[in-house]
Amino acid sequence: MLSLRRADPGMGYHAARGGSLVPMLLVLLATLFVTALAAPAVVRFARPAAAPILAIVPALATFWLISVAPGVLRGEPIGLVRSWVSGLEIEFALHLDGLALLFALLICGIGTLIVLYAGAYLGTHPQFGRFMAALLGFMASMLGLVLADDAIALFIFWELTSITSYLLIGFDHERADARKAALQALLVTGLGGLALLAGLLLLADAAGTLRLSDMAAARPDLPLDPRAAAIVLLILAGAFTKSAMAPFHFWLPGAMEAPAPVSAYLHSSTMVKAGVYLVARLDPALCDIASWSRLLVAFGAATALIGAFTASRQRYFKRLLAYSTVSSLGIMVLLVGLGAPQAAAVYILAHALFKGALFMIAGVAEKRTGRKDVEALGDLRRAMPWTAAIAPAAALSMAGVPLFLGFAGKELLLKAALSAGWAAPFVVPCVFAAGASGVLVALLVAWRPFHAAPEAGALPVAAREGTPLLLAGPLLLAGLGMLAGLFPFLGARAITDAAALAIAGPRGTGLVRIDVPALAAPGAALALSLASLVAGVLLYRARARWRAIAALGGVIDAASPQRGYTAALDGILRAARFQTRLLQNGRLRIYLFVCLLSTIGLVLLAAARTGTLPGVPADDVAISAPDLVFLIIAAVAAIVATRLRGRLSTIAMLGGVGFAVAMLFLTFGAPDVAMTQFAVETLTVIIFVLIFHHLPRFAVFSGPWVRLRDGLLASAFGVLMGGLVLLVRRDAVFPPISDAFAARAAPEAHGRNVVNVILVDFRALDTLGEILVLAISGIGVYTLLRLFIRKEREA
Amino acid sequence: MNSLVLRTAARFLLPLLLVFSVVLLLQGHNEPGGGFVGGLVSASAFTLYAVAFGRDAALRAVGINLQVLAGLGVTIAILSGVPALVLSEPFLTGHWATVPIPGIGDVKIGTPLLFDIGVYCTVWGVALIMVLNLAEE
C-alpha cells in the first residue's frame, strides 16, 4: 500500500499560463476542427487514400498527448487561458490533467483507428466526405469537452458533440428510422444540455468561479448553499441524458441506426462517456453534497441492472452491445458515486478498449454476412479466420477473464461494491448481474457467430473475411486490452492512476493505491468475479430458456420511457397544431389586430403602473410648412387608400404614403434613410406589378363595424406611437447617444456620414444580425416560392 | 414586356444604375449612401432589366447564383470582423489603412468598407431572390 502524491494544481499550470511559447492545446483543437472542415475536399480529391490521410491528424494528436503524458502524470497539468468574453469575466480555459489525458488519449487514439475503419467501411459511399467532416468535427468537440476548464466552454463543446452526433446518427438520412433515432438522441441530450447549462451556471455562481479546476476548493460550505439540491439535479440531468442512464437510456439503442464506425466511436468509447466524464470532473466539487453521491449510486446501479437485463434478452449484434454499454455506463457512474476513482478510471479504459473493438467486429460481421442476428450465424471462423481470432481477445476482456484489463476493472469494481457500506446489499447484486450479462453478451457476440455450430435449419450465409483496414482497429484495441492486463506497468496504470487522482480531487492526498495484479489475490471479490463468469456461461448455455423467462420482463417495455418520449413528442405536436390554428390562421388582419392591441395594452399597463402619461414637450413643437404639407399628403393618401376599390390605385396610394414619409425624412436631414425608403417603395411597387395578375380578385372582407373597429385601433396605435416619441423627448433619462456618435464618427471611425458609421462600425454587430435575418428570410421566400411553383406545376 | 422604348432604356440604364449603386456604396462613409441602399439600387437595376427582357435574361445578366451572392455577402461581412479577432480585439473592431492610389491620392481603406460590401451583396442578392422568383411565370 502506498499513498499517491497529489498533483499541485498551481504548479506548472501557472507557468503555462504565463509564457508557454506555443499554445499547443489550442493548436491541437484548432487543427482538428480545421481538418473536419477540410475533410470533404480531401475526400473529393484523394478518395481512395482519404481516410489514411485524414487519420494522420488524430494520430499526430495521439503522439503529442503521449509525448506530454510523462509531465502530466508527474502532476504538472498543462493549462491555457485566453480572454474570451471580457465583459462577463468569461475566459476560455483549457486544462490537461490526468482525467483529461485519459479521455483525450481514448478520443484521439480510438479516433485514429475509427477514421481508418470508416474509410474501409464506408469509403465508397457518395457522402463519405460529409461523414468524415461530421466524424472529425465530433472528435474535435469531444476533445474540447474533456480539455475545457471553463464551464461555458465545456457547455459549448458539450452541445457541439450533441449536434455532430445528430448528424452522424442520421447520416443515412433517407431512412425514416435513422432520422427518428437522430432526432430522439438530439432532443434527449439537448434537453439534458439545457439543464446542464442551468446547473453549471448555478454552480459557478455558488462557487464564485467558472473555472472547473478551481471549483473544488472554492466553496467548502457548498452543501449548505440553498441552491445545492438544484445544482445536483440539473447537472445530473445533463450527465444522465448524455450517458444514457435509466430512465433516459432508451435513446442509445435507437442510435444504433448509425453506421458501425459511429456506434463504435460515439456510443461505446467516447460520447456516451461524456456524462461519466462530467460527473467525474465535478465530483471533487460536489461530493460533499449528500444527495450527489446517493443519486450517482442509485441511478448507476439501477442502470447497470436494467441494461444487463435488457441486454440478456437481445439477439442482434448492435442491440446486445448497446444495452451492455448502458449497463457499463451505469457501472462507471456508480463507481464515481462510491468514491472509487481508481476503479472508475480502470473500468473506463478497459471498457473503451473492448467495447470499441467489439463494435468494430460486429460491424465487420454484419457487413460481410449481411446478417444482424447472432443466432442466425455460426462457424464463421472458416470464412473469416482473422475476425474469428480477434473477437475472443476483446470478448475475454469484456467477460473479465484473468490476465485481461477487463478483469482488473471488474476486480476493482467488485471491491468497491463490497465496501459500499449501506449501499452494498443493493449494489453488489446489480454489479453481479451486470458482470454475468457482460459474459453472456461477450459469448453471443464473439463466440456464437464464429466458433459455435449454426442453428439447425439456418440458412447458409455467404461470408467474406474483412479487409486488413477493417480488422486493424479491433486487433489493436483488443491487443491493448490484453497487454494492459498482462503488463500493468506499461503505462496504462500510470494513466489510470493520474486520472483517479484528478477524479479524487483534493481528497487525493488520502487516496490509497490498491494493487491489482493480473491474477488477483484471493478474496470475496475474486470469488464473485469468477462466480459471475460461471453464471454468464450458464446463461449462455441455457439462453433459449432464459429468453423465454425474460420475455416476461416485457411488461417493463409497456411502461418504458420510450413510450413517454413518444407521448410527449405527440403532445407537443398537438399543442403546436392547436395554437397554430388559433394564432396563425393565415389572416393578416388578425395578426395585425392581435399585435397592435397587445402592444397598446402593454404600454397602457406600463403607463398605469408607473404613472407616466404621454405629454408634449414644452420647448419645441414647431412644425414647418413643408413638413405640414408632407404630413397632410401622407394622411390623405392613407385615408384614400382605405376607401378605394381598385388594387392598382390602392397600391399607388400606399406608395404615396411611403414617398411622403421619405420626404419628411429628407426635411429632417436624414438623406440616407430617405434614399433607402425611396428605393424600398420603388421595389415594393415593382413587386406588386410583377405579381399583379397572380393575385385573386380584389375583395372587401370586412363589414362596416369591423372596419370601424380596425380604424379605431389603427388610430389609437398611431396616437400611442406619437405620444411615446414625445414622451421620450420630454423625459429623456439618459443624454442622447447621437451626440456621442456624431462627435466620434470622424476621428475614430474615419467617416463623416454618421448614419453609415453607426451601421458599419459602431453598431456593426447589429447590422450583421440584420443581414443574417435578411439572408435567412431570402432563403425562406425562395423555398416557399419554389415549393409553391412545383406544387402548382404538379397539380 | 415587349416594348422597344423600355428595352432600349433598360439596356442603357442597367450599367448606369450599377455604377450609381457602387458610387453610393463607396461614398457612403462620408456622404449619403451605403451598402444597404446601394444593394437596393443595384437590385432595382436588375429588376428593371427583368421587366424589359424577362427573368432568365436578368439572371444571366447577374452572372452569379443569387443564393450564393447573398451567402457571399454574409460571409464577407463576417470575415471583415476577423482581423480584429486576430489582434485580440472585440469582433468587428474597425481597422484602417491609407493606400496611395495614383491619380486619386491617398485613399483610406478599412474593414468597415469590406463590411459594407458584404451588406451590399446580401441586400442585392436577397432583394433579387424575392423579386425574380415572384416574377416567374
| Measured CA angle at A670 (ends A668, A674), to 5 deg | 105
Separation CA A110–CA A104 (nearest Å) = 10
Same-domain check for residues A384 and A482: yes
Q: What is the mean pLDDT of residues A549-573?
A: 79
Partners of B21 on chain A (C-beta within 8 Å) are none
Question: Which pLDDT does position B76 carry in this prediction?
Answer: 95
What are the pLDDT digits (tens) for A718-739?
Answer: 989 888 887 777 766 677 787 8
Same-domain check for residues A256 and A305: no
**B54 Cα to chain A: minimum distance (Å):** 11
CB within 8 Å of A441: residues ≥ 6 apart: A311, A312, A320, A321, A323, A324, A398
Chain A residue with the nearest C-alpha to that of B32: A672
3-state helix, strand, coil in chain A (%, to 5): 75, 5, 20
Cβ burial, residue A403 (10 Å; 0-12/13-18/19+): middle
ipTM, two decimals: 0.92
Q: Does A382 touch chain B (CB under 8 A)?
A: no
Q: What is the mean pLDDT of residues A217-221?
A: 82
What are the pLDDT digits (tens) for A134-192?
Answer: 999 999 999 999 999 999 999 999 999 999 999 999 998 889 999 999 999 999 999 99
Separation CA A771–CA B122 (nearest Å) = 7
Question: Which pLDDT does position A778 carry in this prediction?
Answer: 92
Same-domain check for residues A137 and A8: yes
Task: Please answer whether residues A454 and A382 qualify as being in contact, where contact means their C-beta atoms are separated by less than 8 angstroms.
Answer: no
Task: Please answer whether residues A281 and A245 qualify as being in contact, where contact means their C-beta atoms are separated by less than 8 angstroms.
Answer: no
If phi > 0 it is left, if psi is from -120 to 50 it is alpha, else beta; for residue A675 that is: alpha
Q: Note whether B122 contacts A683, CB cutoff 8 Å.
A: no
**A93 Cα to chain B: minimum distance (Å):** 16
Same-domain check for residues A169 and A240: yes
Q: Is the pLDDT of residue A375 over 70?
A: yes
List the end-to-end C-alpha distance of chain B, in Å, as a whole number.
12
Map residue A316 onto helix, strand or coil: strand
**CA atoms in the 13 A half-sphere facing the CB of A534:** 6
C-alpha cell recorded at residue A433: 448481474
Nearest CB neighbour to A775, from listed B31, B36, B74: B74
Instruction: Name the percent of chain A lying above pLDDT 90.
Output: 46
The closest alpha carbon to A351, from A282, A410, A279, A430, belongs to A410
Separation CA A15–CA A18 (nearest Å) = 5
Chain A residue with the nearest C-alpha to that of B71: A775
What are the pLDDT digits (tens) for A328-343?
Answer: 999 999 999 998 888 9
Question: Which pLDDT does position A613 carry in this prediction?
Answer: 65
**A25 Cα to chain B: minimum distance (Å):** 18
Angle at which helices A176-207 and A273-286 pack, to 10 degrees?
A: 10
DSSP strand pairing (B96-101 vs A90-96): unpaired
Q: Is the pLDDT of residue A396 over 90?
A: yes
| Measured CA angle at A676 (ends A675, A681), to 5 deg | 100
**Partners of residue A91 on adjacent β-strands:** A83
Q: Note whether B34 contacts A686, CB cutoff 8 Å.
A: no
Question: Which pLDDT does position B93 carry in this prediction?
Answer: 85
**Partners of residue B106 on adjacent β-strands:** B100
Q: Could you write out the three-class secondary structure of A154-196?
A: HHHHHHHHHHHHHHHHCCCCCCHHHHHHHHHHHHHHHHHHHHH
Q: Is the pLDDT of residue A504 over 60?
A: yes
CB within 8 Å of A778: residues ≥ 6 apart: B67, B70, B125, B126, B129, B130
Compute and round to an integer the Cα radius of gyration of chain B: 17
Question: Which pLDDT does position A617 carry in this prediction?
Answer: 59
**End residue of a domain, out of A238, A257, A279:** A279
pLDDT band at A15 (very low <50, low <70, confident <90, very high): very low
Same-domain check for residues A58 and A88: yes
DSSP letter, residue A505? G
Question: Which pLDDT does position A295 carry in this prediction?
Answer: 94
Question: Which pLDDT does position A556 carry in this prediction?
Answer: 64
What are the pLDDT digits (tens) for A653-696?
Answer: 988 999 999 999 988 888 888 988 988 888 888 888 777 777 77
Separation CA A791–CA A788 (nearest Å) = 5
- Per-residue pLDDT tens listing for chain B (137 residues): 678 888 999 999 999 999 999 999 988 888 888 899 999 999 999 998 988 898 889 999 999 999 999 999 999 999 998 888 888 788 888 888 887 877 777 777 888 999 999 999 999 999 999 888 887 75
Q: Does B68 touch chain A (CB under 8 A)?
A: no
pLDDT band at A3 (very low <50, low <70, confident <90, very high): very low
Separation CA A348–CA A496 (nearest Å) = 9
Same-domain check for residues A303 and A206: no
Question: Which pLDDT does position A234 carry in this prediction?
Answer: 96
Q: Which of B23, B27, B36, B42 to mutate to test the interface with A (most CBs of A within 10 A)?
A: B36
Chain A residue with the nearest C-alpha to that of B77: A768
Separation CA A31–CA A366 (nearest Å) = 34
Same-domain check for residues A244 and A336: no
Separation CA A46–CA A40 (nearest Å) = 10
What number of other Cβ atoms are within 10 A of residue B13's Cβ? 17
**End residue of a domain, out of A541, A558, A575:** A541
Q: Is the pLDDT of residue A18 over 50?
A: no
pLDDT band at A587 (very low <50, low <70, confident <90, very high): confident
Same-domain check for residues A268 and A293: no
| Average pLDDT over all residues of chain B | 88
A699, part of any domain: no
Q: Is the pLDDT of residue A9 over 60?
A: no
Following CA atoms A756, A759, A763, A764 in sequence, which dihedral angle do they give, to the nearest 10 degrees?
-120
**End residue of a domain, out of A487, A518, A541:** A541
**B128 Cα to chain A: minimum distance (Å):** 9
What number of other Cβ atoms are within 10 A of residue A398's Cβ? 30
Q: What CA–CA distances, in Å, run from B17 to A299, A726, B23?
A: 70, 39, 10
pLDDT band at A1 (very low <50, low <70, confident <90, very high): very low
Q: Does A544 touch chain B (CB under 8 A)?
A: no
Same-domain check for residues A258 and A305: no
Same-domain check for residues A239 and A350: no
Number of domains in chain A: 3
Same-domain check for residues A213 and A263: yes
A481, part of any domain: yes
Question: Which pLDDT does position A21 carry in this prediction?
Answer: 52
What are the pLDDT digits (tens) for A98-108?
Answer: 999 999 999 99
Cβ burial, residue A318 (10 Å; 0-12/13-18/19+): buried
Q: What is the mean pLDDT of residues A289-305?
A: 93
CB within 8 Å of A613: residues ≥ 6 apart: A607, A727
Phi, psi of A103 (to 5 degrees): -70, -40
The closest alpha carbon to A16, from A5, A25, A28, A7, belongs to A25
C-alpha cell recorded at residue A545: 430458456
Q: Where are the domains of chain B?
A: 4-134
- Which residue blocks in A370-491 are alpha helix, DSSP H? 385-399, 405-418, 424-446, 448-451, 468-486
Domain of A764 in residue numbering reads as 737-795
Task: Please answer whether residues A338 and A427 qualify as being in contact, where contact means their C-beta atoms are separated by less than 8 angstroms.
Answer: yes
Q: What is the mean pLDDT of residues A501-505?
A: 83
Q: Is the pLDDT of residue A641 over 80?
A: yes
Partners of B130 on chain A (C-beta within 8 Å) are 687, 778, 781
Phi, psi of B110 (to 5 degrees): -145, 170
Separation CA B103–CA A258 (nearest Å) = 63
| CB contact residues (below 8 A), chain A span 654-683, against chain B | 671-672, 675-676, 679-680, 682-683
Q: Which of A771, A773, A782, A786 to mutate to test the interface with B (most CBs of B within 10 A)?
A: A771
Question: Which pLDDT does position A302 carry in this prediction?
Answer: 93
**A771 Cα to chain B: minimum distance (Å):** 7
Report how far Cα A552 is from the mean position of its chain's Cα atoms.
36
Same-domain check for residues A160 and A241: yes
Q: What is the mean pLDDT of residues A689-718?
A: 84
User: Is the preceding peptide bond at A77 cis, omega within 30 degrees of 0?
Assistant: no
| CB contact residues (below 8 A), chain B span 108-127, against chain A | 108, 110, 112-113, 115-116, 118-119, 122-123, 125-127
Q: Note whether B129 contacts A759, CB cutoff 8 Å.
A: no
Question: Which pLDDT does position A6 carry in this prediction?
Answer: 38
Q: Which of B21, B121, B129 to mutate to test the interface with A (most CBs of A within 10 A)?
A: B129
DSSP letter, residue A520? P
What are the pLDDT digits (tens) for A37-84?
Answer: 999 999 999 888 899 999 999 999 999 999 999 888 888 888 888 888
Q: Note whether A757 contacts B29, CB cutoff 8 Å.
A: yes
| Measured CA angle at B45 (ends B40, B49), to 5 deg | 140
A584, part of any domain: no
Sign of the alpha-carbon torsion through A486, A489, A495, A497: positive
C-alpha cell recorded at residue A707: 372596419
DSSP letter, residue A512? B
**B2 Cα to chain A: minimum distance (Å):** 14
**Partners of residue A95 on adjacent β-strands:** A79
Compute and round to an integer the Cα radius of gyration of chain A: 33
